[in-house]
Chains A and B, each alone.
Chain A
Amino acid sequence: MTAASDAVAWVLLIPICAAAVLAALPGYRLTAALNVVASLGTFLAALSLFIIARPQPGQYLLVDDLNIVFIVLNTFVGFTTSVFSASYIAHEIETGRLTPGYLRFYHAMYQVMMFGMNLAFVSNNIGLMWVAVEIATLTTVLMVGIYRTHAALEAAWKYFILGSVGIALALFGTILVYMAARPVVGEGQDAMVWTVLIGRAATFDPALLNVAFIFLLFGYGTKVGLAPLHAWLPDAHAEGPTPISAVLSGLLLNVALYAVLRFKILLAANPEAISPGPLMVTMGLTSLLFAAFMLYRRRDIKRLFAYSSIEHMGIIVFAFGMGGPLANFAGLLHMVMHSLTKSGIFYAVGHIAQVKGTQQIANIRGLTETHPALGWGLAVGVVAIAGLPPLGIFMSEFLIVSSTFARQPLLAVLLVFGLLLAFGALMLRLTNVAFGEPRGSTAPADASYMPMFAHFALVLTAGIYLPGPLVVWFQHVANVLG
């Protein structure tokens, strides 16, 4: 074992061992602290992958330029969310919404979910990747339903059924990819190993590959939350605990997106297969426009930001669908910025909903007066997510729009229309929630502001100045994406 394969092993082992320990330990202060420590350890292990030499891709595991970005982002947000979660659940225990027994379950599931997501990123085997995505889905389903209210159970059930269908379609696509690879690569394990597939994709049967990609796009696309397969997403975000909403939006959608990207690269490597671009552009644009319209009628604050996630995933899929170095670069940047901003917003929203005792937008007013830190934090987050300068999302959206204008002006018009529409809706809601006559409880919030402001500081920094090495790295990954 070299140091590098050790690091990969740690990324997987820490969460799974932590899950086993957390399931057994009583006492929420201890387990919450342990949850934070385990998440930090995973993050550090992931970070070390940057420094040490990569392991050789094996039958099952792989670290390359593409997935390292996802892993580091995933473990970082996983870590900050665990910090937020510690203060969030303390309040939930006080109000009695969660019992200690459920809390043990919650922490164990949190780590299993991190394990599933990390495994999906590092797997070099398309079958293993599918299993990992299924693990991550199952655990989030269980956590969405953890409050066991009518609404939470309904949300969990809907997520379960739609997620299962998506995952079933993705498996069919995976089988088809194997069928396409088998005549070329030969039977057995090799025909599912990513690094083998990509090397010989040019000689695969293009017709079979096309059909496979359609299934994979719709299957994993369900989990990305692309319209018209998004129906589970708003409910799951609104009814589960807020830390879960944060990881759903910030991380789990990325996992499914990563799977789609992997297969897009595979398809692009075959000259005779259809181009995956137009399909992705269409689905992305549909999601963006649909979500932008839906934003106007939201009355529940978590649902509002869930629709905003659909909107942004639409933008990201659109960017990757356009392809080319610039659009891919912008798509990657947008994905990172969206993960950071959206989870930051959910940290704020979680505390706001706890203080006010409601998620109804109509009952939340004048936050900047009663809770300045939360109110202004939310304001910064919404300004960022709406795409105003000088924050990071402005830059990535600007890049996407300008690169689209250069190639497909008509699509760019639609894109800008969708962006402005969403911008209007978000600003309208922000003025209601953050300013005006205070309404609802004014009790001081017992919140941890660190994770939220850390995220927003990163987004702001990225908007003003992107470090050179990072730009070079992203450009390189953008070229890999083709």
Chain B
Amino acid sequence: MPNLAFDIAHLLAGGLVLISFMMLYQDRLYALLNIFALHALVLALSVAWQAYVQNAPHLYVTAVIALVFKAIIIPVALHRIIKQLGIHRDIETAVGIGPTMLAGMGLVALSMVLMLRVTGAADPLAREDLAFALSVVLLGLLVMVTRRNAVSQVVGFMSLENGLVLAATGAKGMPLVVEISVAFSILIAFIVIGVFLFRIRERFDTVDIGALDEFRGERR
């Protein structure tokens, strides 16, 4: 049975990396949000599986937060914000899809090499989990730097954070995981409320971060 436990954890964590890749080539905001909801769903499954395998019931709380908050509430809220504020639904990329995918592969390779090398002493489950988690974190960063829209940057950040939750749950017996996932949820809620309250669309006429540079004091 231990092999089955390992395989399922492996499958779910690998699935997260794959879904992170799917985010890289989306060119519509709605599609990106759907993919993100899927990302959060797989994360919830993965965390729940870890809770079961490690026999750590408090991790179920984290799984439920991931499921309810990140897979349902946030994507729905962002859908509505996009509709209400009339944000452009195309994603403007700073770098083309092709180079982005290549860079993504490079980052995944990097994190595998790095993490598998330095965690030689840890147990295999934690090792693989950490390597996958770092890949998800780096791919999230890549989404953030290659996208110009504020909303897609938020999605990139949230997928990055999913990677962190994966790492935290993979580290067996880590305290404060639930607290940290709650703290992150608050942070994300702030970001989403921020997008809405600041009415980025109305203030700036665009959510293109590049256009915001015009308002810098230096160019007056």
A130 to chain B, nearest CB (A): 7
- Contact of B164 with A151 in the complex, beta carbons under 8 Å: no
B99, CB-defined interface residue at 8 Å: no
Chain A residues near B (Cβ < 8 Å)? 125, 127-128, 130-131, 134, 138, 141, 145, 148, 150-151, 153-154, 156-158, 160-161, 164-165, 168-169, 171-172, 175-176, 178-179, 182-183, 187-189, 191-192, 205, 207-208, 210-211, 235, 238-239, 298-300, 303, 359-360
- Chain B residues closer than 8 Å to A128, beta-carbon distance: 176
Size category, B interface: 35 or more
- Contact of B217 with A138 in the complex, beta carbons under 8 Å: no
- Kindly list 4 other residue pairs between chains A and B, CB separation below 8 angstroms, not including A151-B217, A175-B164, A175-B168: A151-B216, A153-B200, A158-B212, A178-B174
Complex: how many Å from CA A12 to CA B168?
Answer: 27
Complex: how many Å from CA A192 to CA B173?
Answer: 11
Chain B residues near A (Cβ < 8 Å)? 114-115, 117-122, 126, 130, 133-134, 137, 141, 144, 150, 153, 157, 160-161, 164, 167-168, 171-176, 179-180, 183, 187, 190-191, 194, 198, 200, 203-204, 209, 212-213, 215-218, 220
- Contact of B183 with A303 in the complex, beta carbons under 8 Å: no
- Chain A residues closer than 8 Å to B115, beta-carbon distance: 211
A-B contact pairs, 11 of them (CB 8 A): A127-B175, A141-B190, A150-B212, A150-B215, A153-B204, A169-B137, A172-B133, A179-B119, A183-B121, A207-B117, A299-B220
Picked from B122, B134, B175, B212, the residue with its CB within 8 Å of the CB of A189 is B175
Picked from A160, A208, A235, A303, the residue with its CB within 8 Å of the CB of B191 is A160
Q: Which 10 pairs, one residue from A and one from B, show the smallest C-beta to C-beta distance? A: A187-B173, A207-B118, A127-B176, A150-B215, A154-B212, A300-B217, A189-B175, A151-B215, A175-B167, A208-B118
- Chain B residues closer than 8 Å to A158, beta-carbon distance: 212
- Contact of A138 with B204 in the complex, beta carbons under 8 Å: no
Complex: how many Å from CA A360 to CA B220?
Answer: 9
- Chain A residues closer than 8 Å to B122, beta-carbon distance: 179, 183, 208
- Chain B residues closer than 8 Å to A208, beta-carbon distance: 118-119, 121-122
- Which residue of B has the minimal Cβ distance to A183? B121
- Chain A residues closer than 8 Å to B220, beta-carbon distance: 299, 360
- Contact of A211 with B114 in the complex, beta carbons under 8 Å: yes
Picked from A145, A165, A192, A359, the residue with its CB within 8 Å of the CB of B141 is A165
- Chain B residues closer than 8 Å to A148, beta-carbon distance: 198
- Which residue of B has the minimal Cβ distance to A131? B183
Complex: how many Å from CA A437 to CA B127?
Answer: 68
- Contact of A138 with B160 in the complex, beta carbons under 8 Å: no
Complex: how many Å from CA A157 to CA B119?
Answer: 36
- Which residue of B has the minimal Cβ distance to A212? B118
- Contact of A138 with B187 in the complex, beta carbons under 8 Å: yes
Complex: how many Å from CA A172 to CA B144?
Answer: 17
- Contact of A359 with B119 in the complex, beta carbons under 8 Å: no
- Contact of A157 with B150 in the complex, beta carbons under 8 Å: yes
- Chain B residues closer than 8 Å to A157, beta-carbon distance: 150, 194, 198, 200, 209, 212
- Chain B residues closer than 8 Å to A178, beta-carbon distance: 171, 174
B104 to chain A, nearest CB (A): 17
- Chain A residues closer than 8 Å to B212, beta-carbon distance: 150, 154, 157-158
